[in-house]
Structure 1
Amino acid sequence: MHIRIIAVGKVKEAWQKEGISDLIRRLTPYTSITITEIPDQKVSSPGEKVRAIIREGEALLTAAKEPAFLIVLDPAGREMGSEAFSDLIRKREISGSGDLVFVIGGPDGLSEEVRAKSDLTLSLSQMTFTHTIARLLLLEQIYRAFRIIRGEPYHR
């Protein structure tokens, strides 16, 4: 199984880049993982916002490709604990039915087309995070999931 994270925007803060790199390194024994960054669309007026979300959505779906199990991150999505999340990953790993793709939209959210094509809408929390922090949190949860799957110790 290959895990892909497709996210709108770049990580700019050095400490966030360092944390992301560290988690990708830690995940190497468990799975292959790639991150694809989609350029965020500039919004110059309120009317541009909807068009920008649609353009970002088209780019996200193009990058997602098939076959994949598409999970979009959204505050309105389903929340699950670490054990349930690890079970989801374990089932995908066992099935061997394609990539597991996580999509993180831009600051203005995801297009309806992306939401409609998703297999699961997942919320990391009811709290609001920047999209770069969401990327870091997602990687930490993926790492934790593999530790749980393999019966290895992890912090609870």
Structure 2
Amino acid sequence: MNHEIIVAGKPSLKYAKDGTAEYLKRLTRYGKYKLTHIKDGSSEDVSKRLYEASEGTIRVVMDERGATPTTQELVKLYNKWEMRGVKNISFLIGASDGHTQQLRDDADFILSLSALTLMHELALVVLLEQIYRVATIKRGEPYHRD
């Protein structure tokens, strides 16, 4: 499955840049993972750009109001998408004001990394780590421990 993580704005904090680079490097062993930065702006503008950039993919909208699956449940969701023949998936991290209701309504899945609101840079690193964790579980590697 091809993955694209589409984010409004670019990380400016060192830990976020380093963490993003580290997990993208690790993920190269497991498939195609692309990080795309789009121009930040209002919730409406960013949601429109995210929608357009994710055309033709499974859209996973990152939002604190979304589902909070365990890592194993996320693996099962990936397996379900693969069984359906899904080839492309996009994870959408929006503007600081969040996503529009329309984008959430158009999402295939709304994922929350925490009930807490996370700053975009931290959410990006946490998301990449979880995608990496899912990849290692699917490959049968010992990174994840139950």
Q: Same fold (TM over 0.5)?
A: yes
Q: CA deviation at 1:147?
A: 0.9
Are 2:53 and 1:63 equivalent residues in the alignment?
yes
Distance 1:150 1:73 in 2: 25
Q: How many residues align?
A: 145
Q: CA deviation at 1:155?
A: 4.1
The normalised TM-score by structure 1 is 0.87
Distance 2:134 2:140 in 1: 10
Deviations 1:88-131 (A, max 9, x none): 22332344323111111111000122111101111101122101
Residue of structure 2 in register with 1:153 after alignment: 142
Aligned 8 A contact 1:86 1:142 in 2: no
Residue of structure 2 in register with 1:21 after alignment: 21
Distance 1:63 1:102 in 2: 11
Paired amino acid for 1:18: D
The normalised TM-score by structure 2 is 0.93
Aligned 8 A contact 1:148 1:154 in 2: yes
Residue of structure 2 in register with 1:73 after alignment: 62
Point out the structure with max Rg over C-alpha. Answer: 1
Aligned 8 A contact 2:8 2:37 in 1: yes
Question: What SS class does the counterpart of residue 138 from structure 1 fall into?
Answer: helix
Identical columns (%)? 36
Are 2:101 and 1:112 equivalent residues in the alignment?
yes
Q: Which runs of 4+ in 1 moved over 3 A?
A: 93-96
Paired amino acid for 1:143: Y
Q: Which runs of 5+ in 2 are unaligned?
A: none
Aligned 8 A contact 1:92 1:100 in 2: no
Deviations 1:67-100 (A, max 9, x none): x111101111010001111122233234432311
